[in-house]
Amino acid sequence: MSHSLLRSADLAKLHFSFEFFPPKSEEMEGQLWATIDDLAGWRPEFVSVTYGAGGSTRAPTLSTVRRLLAETALPTASHFTCVGASRDEVHQVVEDFRAAGVRHFVALRGDPAGGVGAAYQPHPGGYANAAELVAGLRSIDDFEISVSAYPEKHPESRDTAADIDMLKRKVDNGANRALTQFFFDNDVFERYLERVRAAGITIPIVPGIMPIQNLTQLKRFAGACGTTVPARLDERFEGLDDKPAERAAVAADVAAEQMADLVRRGIHEFHVYSMNRAPLVNETFARLGLTRKVAETTGAAA
């Protein structure tokens, strides 16, 4: 695909954020910081760092966030959960992150320590859900607060109406924006957005985009979090298991086409799940017609 998918007028309106996860080894740490240094050239609105099931990555998340704030000019948000902790414990962790310079949280209920699919039990002295956590954060300081949204509903929600009601509670308690679970059917997102707006929710609903690094792994993950993977993606990737260059090209095409279609539907802000890898994100953006602003970056890996 040699031509740009978007016109310059649309490109000028685009805004991005990138999501990273804390590294689990020295090798993965090197890859993360090389990725951050590479993707900084796109001048994201902010970057976020995830927080593991049951708060399991609190220390590496805080370490990663501290380094981002100290060594880069990237606006940095930390994911933050309330699972498995009392309110006092949550507040102490908030203070640790605030002392590190964090002013933006992605507030989530969080997965149980057993991971996605395990039974969730609120801590008896803690926040029961993300809406309560947002209120707690808002009571501590005037943080910027992002929350999650689910175009195909959260797997534990009774139905879409209950899911949107939870989003409204998060917004009523002070959320500034919602970042969605990844999806691949833009019609589903558009219908969801219509229902969200009809419920009186006016904050930005930012679609989460997942460039497909590995379709088989993605399907397993999507199944656990309730995301539908359309059969057309099987067709696009058929026969490419042993052809990494061709597979990467198709993955970039798929992500760029999805984003370009959303732009045509009036969306200009995206949250990109980087999976701590830059090449596929770079190829996707190139297909859209975006150009880097490298001269304005700081060199995160220096």
Q: Is residue 302 part of a domain?
A: no
- pLDDT tens digits, one per residue of 200-211: 999 999 999 999
Q: Is the pLDDT of residue 62 over 70?
A: yes
Compute the average pLDDT of residues 47-74: 87
Q: b/e per residue, 39-65, with b = 16+ CB within 10 A?
A: bbbbebebbbbbbbbbbbbbebbbbbb
Longest pairwise C-alpha distance within the chain: 57
Compute the average pLDDT of residues 39-44: 96
Q: Is residue 110 part of a domain?
A: yes
> Total domain count for the chain?
1
Q: Is the pLDDT of residue 295 over 70?
A: no
Burial grade of 298 (CB within 10 A; 0-12, 13-18, 19 or more): exposed
Neighbours of 26 (CB within 10 A): 8
Q: Is residue 3 part of a domain?
A: no
The single-letter code of the amino acid at 220 is R
Q: Is 95 a catalytic residue?
A: no
Please tell me the predicted confidence (pLDDT) of residue 85: 84
Q: Cβ neighbours of residue 242 under 8 Å, at least 6 residues apart?
A: none
- pLDDT tens digits, one per residue of 216-273: 999 999 988 889 999 999 999 999 989 999 999 999 999 999 999 999 999 999 999 9
Cα atoms in the Cβ-side hemisphere of radius 13 Å centred on 215: 23
- pLDDT tens digits, one per residue of 156-185: 888 999 999 999 999 999 999 999 999 999
Range of the structural domain that residue 215 is part of: 8-296
CB 73 within 8 A of CB 60: no
CATH for 144: 3.20.20.220
Q: What three-state secondary structure class fits 146?
A: strand
Q: Which of 19, 132, 152, 283 is catalytic?
A: 19
Q: Is residue 142 part of a domain?
A: yes
Q: Is the pLDDT of residue 297 over 70?
A: no
Using alpha carbons, select from 52, 21, 62, 20 the residue that is nearest to residue 39. 20
Please tell me the predicted confidence (pLDDT) of residue 197: 98
Q: Is residue 301 part of a domain?
A: no
Q: Is the pLDDT of residue 31 over 70?
A: yes
CA distances from 37 to 24, 31, 210, 264, 292 (A): 19, 10, 20, 30, 12
Q: Is the pLDDT of residue 118 over 90?
A: no
Range with the poorest average pLDDT among 88-92, 145-149, 199-203, 251-255: 88-92
Helices 130-140 & 87-99, crossing angle to 10 degrees? Answer: 50
Please tell me the predicted confidence (pLDDT) of residue 196: 98
Q: Is residue 2 part of a domain?
A: no
If you search the block for the tokens 């969080």, which residue do you land on? Answer: 110
Copy the structure tokens of residue 128. Answer: 């029961």
Burial grade of 198 (CB within 10 A; 0-12, 13-18, 19 or more): exposed
Between 220 and 298, the more confident residue is 220
Please tell me the predicted confidence (pLDDT) of residue 279: 97
**For 292, phi and psi rounded to 5 degrees?**
-70, 160
- pLDDT band of residue 1 (cuts 50, 70, 90) is very low
Q: Is residue 281 part of a domain?
A: yes
Q: Is the pLDDT of residue 122 over 90?
A: no
Q: Is residue 18 part of a domain?
A: yes
